[in-house]
Structure 1
Amino acid sequence: MQRKPVPPAPSSLAAVGDVRDATPLVPKPEDDCCRRLIERAGVEDRGTASAWLVFLSAVGVLVDDDAGYARRGDVGVDDREALAAGFRENVFLGGDVVDALDDTPAQPRDVFDAVREQVPPWERAKRDNWQAFWTGRVRRRLDWAALFGQAVRVDDTPCYRRA
């Protein structure tokens, strides 16, 4: 199953490690984990903390089961290839966004145009500005793709190309 929540990408894998390390070793309910991320990793609010938990579970560094979320002891955040594989396979539009890139710099709206048909009808019906909303979600995915080494942000522009 692919997951949709994607928090804003930090500037480094070390920051991802800080969030991962704030997650308990023994599974705890989501509310407890969110509180820990806010207190120990400086995550700004509960909604963002929840997105981090879902996302880190999708890329394979957390376990998500009936007991809650927990850190996987056998997986760190230093393996970009493993993180990238989890991102492509388990994050909604993760692989599609990367596949939409080529050697020509593209803005998030261009990448959104390439994947827009995959946004489910119920997501489109939720809001009047669904295109702008999902363009923002595509941009977050591009930022993560760049962090995981699958994309490159072009200088100081909002453009990306395939790595």
Structure 2
Amino acid sequence: MRLKPVPEPPTDLDALDAFRRAVPLVPGSEDDCCARLRDRRDLADRQAANDWLAFLRALGLARETPRGFVRSDAAATPELVREGLRDGVLLVPETLALLRDASTEEPVTPASLFAATRESVPRHDRARDPKWEATWRERADRLLRWLALVNLAEAVAADAPASEPGYVAGDAA
């Protein structure tokens, strides 16, 4: 199962590991874990904390046990994050395929990623969010930045100052 949440990427993997460390060592309920994440990482609300908890699970940095959620023992290494993104986050395989076909003249942008994956957006997300297109364009932008964080994507210079950032496949792709 691939998860949808893609929170704002941190500046580096040390900051990501701080999110992992905010998840308890002793199993706790989802509410307890979200409250702890919100408090320790200064998140805006419970939804942001819930998205982070789901994302950390997708990356293998947290897990759900019969007694609740716990942090994993694994540190946030580039290899672990790459594997978690590939295996656990919705639309990453499609994005990586687009990046492999991209060039510096025609890089993947958040808009082009959204256009290419638009039909894959779950129907229930379209139905419940009247602004789903903007939501998923923003998700595309965050996803590309996550991929760049672990060298699955590489940012290329935009042609014009107001242009969206563009990406091609990174060294680790």
TM normalised by structure 1 equals 0.89
- Quote the residue 1:53 is aligned against: 53
Cα distance change, pair 130–35 in 1 and its aligned pair in 2 (3 A): closer
3-state SS of 2:84 partner: helix
The answer to whether the Cα contact below 8 Å between 2:96 and 2:169 also exists between their aligned partners in 1 is yes
Pairing partner for 2:146 from 127, 139, 144: 144
3-state SS of 2:64 partner: strand
Where does structure 1 lack aligned partners over 5 or more consecutive residues? none
Moved more, 151-160 or 44-53: 151-160
Where does structure 2 lack aligned partners over 5 or more consecutive residues? 159-163
- Quote the residue 2:165 is aligned against: 158
TM normalised by structure 2 equals 0.85
Aligned partners of 1:38 and 1:125: how far apart in 2? 28
Q: CA RMSD in A?
A: 1.7
Identical aligned residues as a percent: 39
Q: Which amino acid aligns with 1:97?
A: T
Aligned partners of 2:46 and 2:135: how far apart in 1? 20
Aligned partners of 1:65 and 1:44: how far apart in 2? 26
Aligned partners of 2:135 and 2:43: how far apart in 1? 22
Indicate yes or no: 2:120 matched with 1:118.
yes
Q: Give the C-alpha shift of residue 155 in structure 1.
A: 4.5
Runs of 4+ in 1 over 6 A off after TM superposition: none
* Larger radius of gyration between Structure 1 and Structure 2: 2
Q: Cα deviation per residue 1:48-106 (whole Å; 9 max; x = unaligned)?
A: 11111100101111112332211112x110x2122111111111112222221123322
The answer to whether the Cα contact below 8 Å between 1:35 and 1:46 also exists between their aligned partners in 2 is yes
- Quote the residue 2:135 is aligned against: 133
Aligned partners of 1:32 and 1:128: how far apart in 2? 31
